[in-house]
Amino acid sequence: MKKVLKIILVSIVMFYGAISIFPFIWSFITSLKPTTEVNMFTIPWGDLSFKNYIYIFKNFPFVTWLFNSVIVASLVTLGNIIFNSMAGYALARIEFPGKKGIFIGILGMMMIPGQVVMVPTYIILVHFGWINSYLGLTIPFMFNFFNIFLMRQFFMGIPKDLEEAGYIDGLSRFGIFFRIILPVSKSALSTQFILSFTGNWNSFLWPTLIGRKQSMYTLPVGLNSFYGQYFQFWDQVLAGVMLLSIPAILIFIIFQKHFIAGIANSGSKE
């Protein structure tokens, strides 16, 4: 009976996996098709080529958009790792007045959709003069309440003996944090890295509001300009989407082991 149940569960997982990956495979094949074959369900094996990829590099500032995406996603991810980790550590390990109130406030902010605060944030940045700038694209997203919560939960599971050993060796609070706590938190940091980088790499709404000039477009915003007024060039759009997907897929493949461990350990507590 257990063997039959196992076969059924494996079959369901394989079926779900096939359904999930089919749109990606279809998109990749369509990105290789000529424009006249895009709406055909058949695969013209002899006509498949990388012409669409070459076309978007030659006719659009794709390299500039790629550079902007790399800069924005990297800076936001770096800021998240530094600031969220420090905030999570303070909430997990340091006693100070108002600590519980701040933590409850963070939990409450996690339940508020980001779109609710987008308009007031935009108005503030207009007064700062940060429209069409990397500051406007990056600074507002260098803090993330979910990642602060994630890091706090992980830090609470680290034995206090490690910190006490650091104090005995003469380390300060910052020394303990950077030389002891962070090195043993690779799984949680990797989880935060994947969530922050992929989330900002694929972000569309905020870069559309802030990056008005074509030179400040990120890749998702630039891909949106592929749409024609009367006709949509899906072959070129999907070629751009495939290029957009590659970094996120590579990062997940590289850090997936730490990602799973980080999620599993974030719920543990000493």
Is pLDDT larger for residue 63 or for residue 270? 63
* pLDDT the model gives residue 265: 61
Strand partners, 232: 227
Concatenated DSSP letters of 118-175: HHHHHHHHHHHT-TTSHHHHHGGGS--HHHHHHHHHHHHTS-HHHHHHHHHTT--HHH
Is residue 247 exposed (0-12), middle (13-18) or buried (19+ Cβ within 10 Å)?
middle
pLDDT-derived band at 227 (thresholds 50, 70, 90) equals low
For 5, half-sphere exposure in the C-beta direction (CA atoms, 13 angstrom radius) is 2
What's the token pair of residue 259?
């990602």
CA-CA-CA-CA torsion for 182, 186, 191, 194, nearest 10 degrees?
100
Per-residue pLDDT at 124 exceeds 80: yes
Tell me the one-letter amino acid at 255: F
Whose tokens are 């500051």? That residue is 135
pTM: 0.81
Grade residue 3 by pLDDT with cuts at 50, 70 and 90: confident
Across 122-131, average pLDDT = 91
> Band of the pLDDT at 261, cuts 50, 70, 90?
low
**pLDDT value, residue 228:** 59
The answer on pLDDT for 16 being more than 60 is yes
Q: What is the pLDDT of residues 230-243, one digit of tens each?
A: 557 788 888 888 88
The confidence score (pLDDT) of residue 40 equals 79
Residue 257 belongs to what H/E stretch? helix 234-265
Q: What is the per-residue pLDDT for 267?
A: 52
Composition of the chain by helix, strand, coil, percent to 5: 80, 0, 20
What pLDDT, in 10s, does the model give residues 34-62? 888 887 777 887 888 898 899 888 888 88
Per-residue pLDDT at 196 exceeds 60: yes
Dmax over CA atoms of the chain, in Å, equals 72
**pLDDT value, residue 231:** 58
- Exposed e or buried b for every residue in 229-244, given b needs 16+ CB within 10 A? eeeebbbbbbbbbbbb
pLDDT greater than 90 at residue 159? no
Give CA–CA dist 124/87, Å, rounded: 24
CA-CA distance, 48 to 198, in Å (whole number)? 29
In terms of pLDDT, which residue wins out, 269 or 209? 209
